[in-house]
Structure 1
Amino acid sequence: MATIDPPAVIGRRPAPLRIHDPATDELVAEVAQADDHAASRALRELAEAAPRWRDRPAGDRAAGLRAWSRALAEHEEELARLVTRETGRPLREALAGVRAGVEGAAQYAELGLGHRGRRLLGDPDADDVMEPRALGVALVLLPWNDPIALAASQLAACLVTGNVVLVKPSERAPLAVAWAVDLLPEALRPAVRLLQGDGRLGARLVADPAVDVVLHTGAIETGQAIAATSARHLRRTILELGGNDPLVVDGDVDPGWAAAQAASGAFANAGQLCTAVERIVVHRRVAGPFLEHLVRRAEALRPGPPEDRRTTLGPLVDQRHRAMVHGHVQGALASGAVARTGGVVPDGPGCFYPPTVLTEVRPEMAVWATETFGPVAPVIVVDDVEEGLALAAEGRHGLAATVLTNSDRTAREAARRLDVGTLKINAVFGGAPAGAAEPRRHSGLGTGFGPELLDELTSWRVVHRCAAATR
């Protein structure tokens, strides 16, 4: 067990964060929480640094981010192992997340240099330009399920646009982010502070008027509270609040292939992904073989130590989260759903949960209506794809959706009816790396990725310049 005192944490709270390995229940670290004095000092230092950082040449900011990307790449294995220790994510997947962060930092270093304003056509004797300007102090509130990918990308986007950054990792995953911030080159350090703490610290930071923009990835209820507080400050807020993503399987596709897509979407990282498949609608024509293939794929997954590269199913992040996931499953079973596989908490240490396939599911069940965020695949069988699209379109979420079909007509109808930020046809995962999507409804606000994130992190100013009068 180690005691971690992350960079830029000044002061301590009586109870440190206790980080347990979700595969073994072993205590990994105790992390000092920042107190109110630490929060006030960090915000004051950032406010003082903001004008100088904003006025740094864009090329200097980009060069610092390239150096940080290289440093992250040099330590990708160690960072991935730390993510695995604190979240239980299998090492292969954790390494992919770290590499996504490496690429994100490098990408925004280049995108920032191309983020420019435009000249306006006005009086020929005057110059009129629109120029982007940094907002000021950015508060980045990170999730636990993919901490390095989000930290590196969002910090890089903030920094390259001239903003200074206060980052608070999730209290469930503070270690790898602290190390990643500690790898910042000297040129970037004046513009970044890191504070560790739980939701109470997050709420205190969101309420501070010194914060100019908030980026949050997490639960809907937390996002709603952040949005309400930010509204009182008339402050820009960028939120990704999770999804309850549907997968619609048409009757004209190969059921084995469709089951492989469904298993990947529902069980990757034990279902702990914002864009995981949370509910499945399958055409009756292929439902039988589809379910047989899906059950076989679920039962073929190999739980085990996340550091073992043969492991294909890691644990859930902690006991509290496992209890919530199991509660959704038990509630569905009590209301008439059938577990084709899984649904039983295993014996032994850790927070493991078996891949679970549920049939006879109804839309009012919590396992269907809300985000379970675990390795659970609830299935509803429909008689036609139009009924399936209507069912997929229901609910308060609007992050992403997937449709598997050989019909161009069905693909076009899906694009018309599914109001989500990302619509995927015939592929659960994938897509161009620079894509930007804006969540709909309760899944969030603003564009959190791609070149468009740079627009979210700046304000537009018009400069009208005329020649001075001569004597």
Structure 2
Amino acid sequence: MVEQAHAPAAPQVRVPQVRSGRDPVGGGDLTILNPRDGSTVGRVPMATRADIDTAFERARRAAPGWARTPATERGAALRAAAAALRENVDNLAVLNARETGRPVAEAREGVTAGAGTLEQYAELGPLHRGRSLVGDWSATDLMVAEPRGVVVALTPWNDPVAVSCGIVGAALATGNTVLYKASERAPHTGALFAEIVAAGLPEGVLNGLTGDGAVGAALAADPRADVVAHVGGTATGDSIRQATAHTGAKALLENGGNDPLIVDEGVDPEWAAHQAAIGSFANSGQICTSVERIYVHRALADRFVEALVAEAARRVPESAAAGEVELGPLVDRRHRDAVHAHVEQAVRAGATRLIGGEMPDGPGAYYPATVLTGCTPAMTVMREETFGPVAAVRVVDSFDQALDEAGDDRHGLAATVLTPSMEHAQRAWRELRVGTVKVNAVFGGAPGGAAQPRGVSGQGFGYGPELLDEMTTVKVVHIEPAKHPG
């Protein structure tokens, strides 16, 4: 592909592992294939049980000293890490593109966004503090925030650097040490990220591990973990909830979403279709807050669907002539099979394929931008996260019907409403049981936002100042003067 031919050469990534000779937790090495053409990106060894033990021991030894390090010095280390990420933006972006199929330009944006997050926590960390209480005049009463200890950070493949910077940055800013495992679909990117950030930290403060789901499960279930922070699939999140219920670790989870888009009567149908296309097709639909299901008012449904099909038709696989990516591949063929299964189930149940929805020929894991109409609430594309470039459309007779059906879901990550009505906008953000509601824009928001997912979509704050609260625990201190004899 032209994109690869002109991209910087992939760096030789040293995966920070300690090989012990014992069997890997998950068995064997990880082989990563490029989803564009099926070529081998590289192989990385999976952590052994001895590696996990070593990492916990290193993190535990480093924890007291890092907790005592002044917050301003921890902030300086994060600023230095952010600068180092910016210096390595090309290498990180190319690795991300080769491992997951993400367009290089978008991958670069993810790296720079992650660096910005580290810089935010570098500033917020020294400002994070407890408060004093009003008690007896002769006593001092304080509520003091302290680091929780060792944080296990399990991060996803779809935006690996940006998400890692959020979890790792908040943990380090508040004085925790970290065991970090990136997704097995992006281990080279994760290993390079960990190596860059750890280079400016004391030994043992950030410990990178590679491995599959078995390695992640072993880390999440380990009683030496004080926090398990995970961004990824719902099934994995459920297993982490169960594991931490036994160990007592705090679980911070952002799991899958099934985000609805409501298109209300009175909006411009072409504008609404453009918004729907961005939400459904950006990063080939592989974004946590992608639009998964669309409820459009019957009054504009025909014009909206026509415009949406035109939007999908403009999103074609990478253009070698232009060297630009309109629609990159899915992360791998296994995931493509899962996306296609959702589409096929909908068609068998009565949905109509207006464009896309066919398994393409040729190498790689490409899947076309797809528009389905005639979708019903029982279809898998309306009940579960598809995580692919599929716009599943249901025509409704009223805003009330749209709001009711959008809210009838076990997930609770995000939702969008496009409406000219302030009343409907107000009702939507009040009534939808999700962590984030966006009105008249599928993406966007001010820096520092920190939503709490609902239902099976997770628990705890992600990003923002509130994530610093999640990474700390509060100790109440009461001090009185000693009584002197006599």
TM-score, normalised with respect to structure 2 = 0.95
Counterpart in the other structure of 1:52: 65
Shift, 1:152, TM fit:
1.5
Q: In structure 1, which of residues 267, 271, 295 is the aligned counterpart of residue 285 of structure 2?
A: 271
Counterpart in the other structure of 2:344: 330
Q: In structure 1, which of residues 238, 255, 259 is the aligned counterpart of residue 252 of structure 2?
A: 238
**Amino acid across the alignment from 2:15:** P
Q: In structure 1, which of residues 26, 29, 40 is the aligned counterpart of residue 53 of structure 2?
A: 40
Shift, 1:221, TM fit:
1.1
The verdict on how the C-alpha distance between 1:308 and 1:449 changes in structure 2, with shifts beyond 3 A counting, is farther
- Residues 316 and 368, structure 2, Cα contact 8 Å, conserved in 1: no
Shift, 1:99, TM fit:
1.1
Counterpart in the other structure of 2:458: 444
Counterpart in the other structure of 2:76: 63
Shift, 1:102, TM fit:
0.6
Q: In structure 2, which of residues 126, 129, 132 is the aligned counterpart of residue 119 of structure 1?
A: 132
**In the comparison of the two structures, how many residue pairs are matched?**
471
1:6 aligns with 2:19: no
1-side partners of 2:317 and 2:202: how far apart? 40
Counterpart in the other structure of 2:115: 102
Counterpart in the other structure of 1:253: 267
1:469 aligns with 2:478: no
- Residues 439 and 446, structure 1, Cα contact 8 Å, conserved in 2: yes
Shift, 1:11, TM fit:
3.8
Counterpart in the other structure of 1:168: 181
- Residues 142 and 170, structure 1, Cα contact 8 Å, conserved in 2: yes
Classify the secondary structure of the residue corresponding to 2:69: coil
Q: How does 1:448-463 map to 2 (within 5 A)?
A: 448-463=462-477
Deviates more, 1:298-307 or 1:83-92: 298-307
Shift, 1:190, TM fit:
3.0
Counterpart in the other structure of 1:178: 191
Cα-to-partner distance string for 1:331-388 (whole Å, 9 max, x where unaligned) = 1111111001001011110000000000011110111110000000000001111111
4+ aligned runs moved over 6 Å, structure 1: 305-308
**Amino acid across the alignment from 1:28:** V
Counterpart in the other structure of 2:149: 136
Q: In structure 2, which of residues 429, 442, 450 is the aligned counterpart of residue 428 of structure 1?
A: 442
Classify the secondary structure of the residue corresponding to 1:166: strand
1:376 aligns with 2:402: no
Classify the secondary structure of the residue corresponding to 1:190: coil
1:283 aligns with 2:292: no
**Amino acid across the alignment from 2:214:** R
Cα-to-partner distance string for 1:378-413 (whole Å, 9 max, x where unaligned) = 000011111111111111010000000000111111
Shift, 1:63, TM fit:
0.5
The verdict on how the C-alpha distance between 1:307 and 1:144 changes in structure 2, with shifts beyond 3 A counting, is farther
Classify the secondary structure of the residue corresponding to 2:464: coil
Q: In structure 1, which of residues 20, 25, 35 is the aligned counterpart of residue 33 of structure 2?
A: 20
Classify the secondary structure of the residue corresponding to 1:145: coil
Identity %: 49
Cα-to-partner distance string for 1:128-187 (whole Å, 9 max, x where unaligned) = 111100000000001110000011121110001010000011000011121111112433
Q: Which runs of 5+ in 1 are unaligned?
A: none
Q: How does 1:407-422 map to 2 (within 5 A)?
A: 407-422=421-436
Cα-to-partner distance string for 1:216-275 (whole Å, 9 max, x where unaligned) = 011111111110110112221000002000000001100000000000000000000000
Counterpart in the other structure of 2:172: 159
2-side partners of 1:338 and 1:200: how far apart? 39
**Amino acid across the alignment from 2:127:** G
- Residues 179 and 208, structure 2, Cα contact 8 Å, conserved in 1: yes
Shift, 1:4, TM fit:
4.9
Q: How does 1:291-310 map to 2 (within 5 A)?
A: 291-304=305-318, 309-310=323-324
Cα-to-partner distance string for 1:296-352 (whole Å, 9 max, x where unaligned) = 010001312799752110000001000000000011111111001001011110000
- Residues 4 and 32, structure 1, Cα contact 8 Å, conserved in 2: no
Classify the secondary structure of the residue corresponding to 2:316: coil
Counterpart in the other structure of 2:101: 88
1-side partners of 2:335 and 2:169: how far apart? 30
Q: How does 1:326-365 map to 2 (within 5 A)?
A: 326-365=340-379
**Amino acid across the alignment from 2:59:** L
**RMSD over aligned Cα, in angstroms?**
1.5
**Amino acid across the alignment from 2:74:** R
Cα-to-partner distance string for 1:77-120 (whole Å, 9 max, x where unaligned) = 22111100100001121111111111111111111111011111
Q: In structure 2, which of residues 407, 410, 414 is the aligned counterpart of residue 393 of structure 1?
A: 407
Deviates more, 1:280-289 or 1:5-14: 5-14
Shift, 1:191, TM fit:
0.4
Counterpart in the other structure of 1:208: 222
- Residues 81 and 307, structure 1, Cα contact 8 Å, conserved in 2: no
1:311 aligns with 2:325: yes
